[in-house]
Amino acid sequence: MKNLFDDNRLANILTIMRKSTVLSIASLAARLGVSERTIRNDIKSINDALDDSAYIETDQGKCSLRIFDLNAFQYAYSKIINTDDLMNSSTRRMEYIFGKLMRAYEPLLTDDLAYEMNVGRTTLVSDLKKLRSLIEPYDLHVEGKTSKGMLLRGSEMNIRRYVMDNTFEAIYGDYPQDEQIIKSVDKAFEQYPVVSSVRTTFQNYLTLMIDRFLTGHYIGRLPDSYYVLSARSAFRFVERLLNDIGNSLHVEFPIEEKLFVLLPIIGMRTPTDTDQMYAVSLDEEIRPLLEKIIQKIEFELNITINTHEFTEEFMYHLMFMINRLRYNIRVDNPLVEDIKEKYPLAQRMAEISAEVIEQEMNLKVTPEEIGFLASYFGVFLEVSGMQRKQRRMAVVCGTGIVTSRLITVQLKKIVDSATDIQVFSLTGAKPEKLNTYDIVLSTVELPFELEKPVIYIREIFNEEELRSRIEKADYWSKEKAPFIDDNWYVMASQVKEETFFDLSDYTDYEEAVNTMIECLTDEELVDAAFQERLWEREKMGSMVFDRGIAMPHTMQYANEELMVAIGVFNQPILYKDAPVKVIFMLGLPKDVITQEDLLIRIYDEIMTISKDDELIDGLSRCQTYPELLRILYKRK
């Protein structure tokens, strides 16, 4: 992804921080392609430049922007983002060079170009080297030698792709717009409403096309797949508009130029206005594709994806995304790293979807598009989470009414607004009544047993700690978790001493897995046929992930509980050319849908762990169950 200010990383960081409340230093480093140490040093420099107007605060790997004086901050921000003038920035110089090359009819001499740009020859040669590497993925190259002149070589379509992805604003930001053309576009879009972002992108494509066409840079013959687009209703809209513009310019645009201008419409983001969305016909290939995606996710993760109201919108997203991939239309997604961090399971579901799309459509899904897919699955997971939030909560208070009101006020800060909170005195609290609630909180020891989870609290409590404990109560009944602590990892309560395995003596993955299964079978935690089913499943697709994580899983019929076992190797072992450090083995109950919320949470935790190399190494060094619990502990 091209950064907003490639050579001004401080401006890039500050611009990103203005759009996000809290960001991890790791995600910033990944987004900008530098180390975390570099980001920390940059933050120090930014804070110096901001003086007392604002401050980027860092804490436990997270950073957040605090603004104290808005006017002073805006002035400081303006100075930071404008530290580079045109020819003092390598990026700006490369944009200028590319603009000259794409418009050149004869070779450009390096000395002439350096003189025109007022830079040294050495600087220009260095910029050319960088530019060559940037345009190479677009199948473009600079032909010739610096001493004899240079020309840009490659297809016209690829030149335009590079401009739209990288340099449009630099080259066409001040391009004069013909008033008659503007009127024609405005009139056309009155009859064909689209969101403003699509309209803007369309205008950019149109500007680029007209400039290139009128200067003799014709797009020429396109791949056959492009001409299929002429059957779409959107093409008829573009054709009428370009015929109108052509008449005013006294030219006739060939079909290839019309197809180029059509691209931002057929590759637009899914409209938020449902009327606009449904005005576009859904391609026949999309619904079967969605079914295969759902089947693949359900097979790999055993998660049932019910049809929610966003499903129709998701199919339109798939259609527009496939158009973007098929016709090389890039859409920037600045939230890629944030989505990975916040929704690790949704990210995995998106990656599975990308595998299906690649297999079925022969299209490679980009990281930006995977991020958009993950956003939709994040919605699905959030909807599932909302459905399992506590709705009825009983509070047993052993003191007076003022204390009970204080507890209620604190609780309302940390539970969903729809949660029903009822307060009982110790004398008024009866088992048959409390068992009708989802969860019970008490400031005093209850003299009886309950069927529902009980959390003991103080009158003044730590809100974050209690929020974590309430969240865990969503997944555990009293029998499963008599003590609900504030450890964020739900799996820490699920893994028992008999389901932890130190596999340091093993050098063969299959042998280690079989040993785990045999022990679990002896403990009657899985049935005798579990081992056979697991290896049959493995034949259909490896359950070894990146970063040293393996997650073998299948159904188990020994009981009705979700079984979680963890096996660790103190040194990574290879299985199918992939290193494995930690095995998370899951035995899924026959009626898995009854524990799907718990399964989703366990998957989410495993995906979170898979991103943390330090945690994986810590787990791999565990030799005992207590050591595992110490490593597998964190507060939210």
User: Which 3 state secondary structure label does DSSP give 441?
Assistant: strand
User: Which 3 state secondary structure label does DSSP give 216?
Assistant: coil
CB 431, CB 449: distance < 8 Å: yes
pLDDT digits (tens, 9 = 90+) for 583-633: 999 999 888 777 777 888 888 889 889 888 899 999 999 999 999 999 988
Structure confidence at residue 101 as a pLDDT band (50, 70, 90): very high
- Tell whether 498 and 414 lie within a shared domain: no
Q: Which two tokens stand for residue 147?
A: 């001493």
Q: What is the pLDDT of residue 87?
A: 61
Instruction: Compute φ and ψ for 176, nearest 5 degrees.
Output: -65, 135
Q: With 80 as the cut, is the pLDDT of residue 391 above it?
A: no
- Tell whether 500 and 436 lie within a shared domain: no
Q: With 90 as the cut, is the pLDDT of residue 458 above it?
A: no
Structure confidence at residue 383 as a pLDDT band (50, 70, 90): low
- Tell whether 292 and 383 lie within a shared domain: yes
Q: Find all residues with CB under 8 Å of 180, minimum gap 6, and list them.
A: 248
Q: Strand runs (DSSP E) across 324-477, as ranges?
A: 392-397, 420-425, 439-442, 454-456
What whole-number distance in Å separates Cα of residue 569 and Cα of residue 484? 29
Q: With 90 as the cut, is the pLDDT of residue 90 above it?
A: no
Last residue of a domain, one of 485, 516, 548: 485
Q: What is the pLDDT of residue 479?
A: 43
Q: With 60 as the cut, is the pLDDT of residue 272 above it?
A: no
Q: Which two tokens stand for residue 191?
A: 């009859």
Q: What is the pLDDT of residue 279?
A: 62
Q: What is the CA radius of gyration of the chain?
A: 30
Q: What is the pLDDT of residue 271?
A: 60
Q: With 80 as the cut, is the pLDDT of residue 3 above it?
A: no
Q: Could you give the number of structural domains in the chain?
A: 6
Q: What is the pLDDT of residue 2?
A: 39
DSSP codes, 348-365: HHHHHHHHHHHHHH--PP
pTM of this prediction?
A: 0.69
To the nearest 10°, the Cα dihedral for 328, 331, 337, 343? -100
Is position 168 within any domain? no
Q: H/E element holding 388?
A: none
Q: What is the pLDDT of residue 565?
A: 96
pLDDT digits (tens, 9 = 90+) for 405-450: 888 888 888 887 778 889 998 888 899 999 888 888 888 888 888 8
Assign residue 18 the CATH number of its domain: 1.10.10.10
CB 53, CB 67: distance < 8 Å: yes
Q: With 60 as the cut, is the pLDDT of residue 302 above it?
A: yes
Is position 167 within any domain? no
Q: What is the pLDDT of residue 388?
A: 54
DSSP annotation of 265: H
Window from 95-104, 183-192, 352-361, 480-489 with minimum mean pLDDT: 480-489
Q: Find all residues with CB under 8 Å of 12, minimum gap 6, and list them.
A: 3, 4, 5, 6, 32
Is position 169 within any domain? no
Is position 123 within any domain? yes
pLDDT digits (tens, 9 = 90+) for 56-71: 998 878 889 988 888 8
- Tell whether 433 and 340 lie within a shared domain: no
Q: Which residue has the higher pLDDT, 513 or 17?
A: 513
What whole-number distance in Å separates Cα of residue 269 and Cα of residue 265? 9
Q: What is the pLDDT of residue 408?
A: 85
Query: Where do the H-state alpha helices sit in 364-426?
Result: 367-387, 401-412
Is position 372 within any domain? yes
pLDDT digits (tens, 9 = 90+) for 530-555: 999 999 988 887 788 878 899 999 99
| Residue found under tokens 């994986």 | 616
Last residue of a domain, one of 39, 61, 84: 84
- Tell whether 624 and 519 lie within a shared domain: yes
Last residue of a domain, one of 352, 372, 387: 387
Query: How do beta strands 439-442 and 392-397 pair?
Result: parallel
- Tell whether 496 and 577 lie within a shared domain: yes
Structure confidence at residue 6 as a pLDDT band (50, 70, 90): very low
- Tell whether 114 and 208 lie within a shared domain: no
Q: With 90 as the cut, is the pLDDT of residue 528 above it?
A: yes
CB 201, CB 172: distance < 8 Å: no
CB 485, CB 467: distance < 8 Å: no
Task: Tell me what the mean pLDDT of segment 508-514 comes to.
Answer: 95
- Tell whether 399 and 381 lie within a shared domain: no
Cβ atoms within 10 Å, residue 164: 20
What whole-number distance in Å separates Cα of residue 139 and Cα of residue 317? 28
Is position 192 within any domain? yes
Residue 321: domain span: 286-387
Is position 273 within any domain? no
Looking at every residue in the chain, the average pLDDT score rounds to 85
- Tell whether 45 and 67 lie within a shared domain: yes
User: Which 3 state secondary structure label does DSSP give 515?
Assistant: helix
Structure confidence at residue 174 as a pLDDT band (50, 70, 90): confident
| Residue found under tokens 């040669």 | 125
Window from 105-119, 248-262, 386-400 with minimum mean pLDDT: 386-400
Assign residue 399 the CATH number of its domain: 3.40.50
- Tell whether 404 and 479 lie within a shared domain: yes
Q: Which two tokens stand for residue 14?
A: 């500050």
What is the percentage of the chain residues whose pLDDT exceeds 70? 91
- Minimal CA–CA distance to 548: which of 461, 488, 631, 615? 615
What whole-number distance in Å separates Cα of residue 368 and Cα of residue 79? 31
Is position 173 within any domain? no
The amino acid occupying position 66 is R
pLDDT digits (tens, 9 = 90+) for 175-212: 887 888 989 998 888 887 777 778 888 999 999 999 99
Q: Which residue has the higher pLDDT, 554 or 170?
A: 554
Q: With 60 as the cut, is the pLDDT of residue 129 above it?
A: yes
Q: What is the pLDDT of residue 278?
A: 59
- Tell whether 496 and 624 lie within a shared domain: yes
Assign residue 539 the CATH number of its domain: 3.40.930.10
Within 13 Å of residue 347, how many CA atoms lie on the same side as its CB?
A: 20
Q: Which two tokens stand for residue 474?
A: 């969503």
pLDDT digits (tens, 9 = 90+) for 307-344: 555 678 888 889 999 999 999 988 888 778 888 888 88
- Tell whether 194 and 229 lie within a shared domain: yes
Cβ atoms within 10 Å, residue 530: 22
Assign residue 303 the CATH number of its domain: 1.10.1790.10
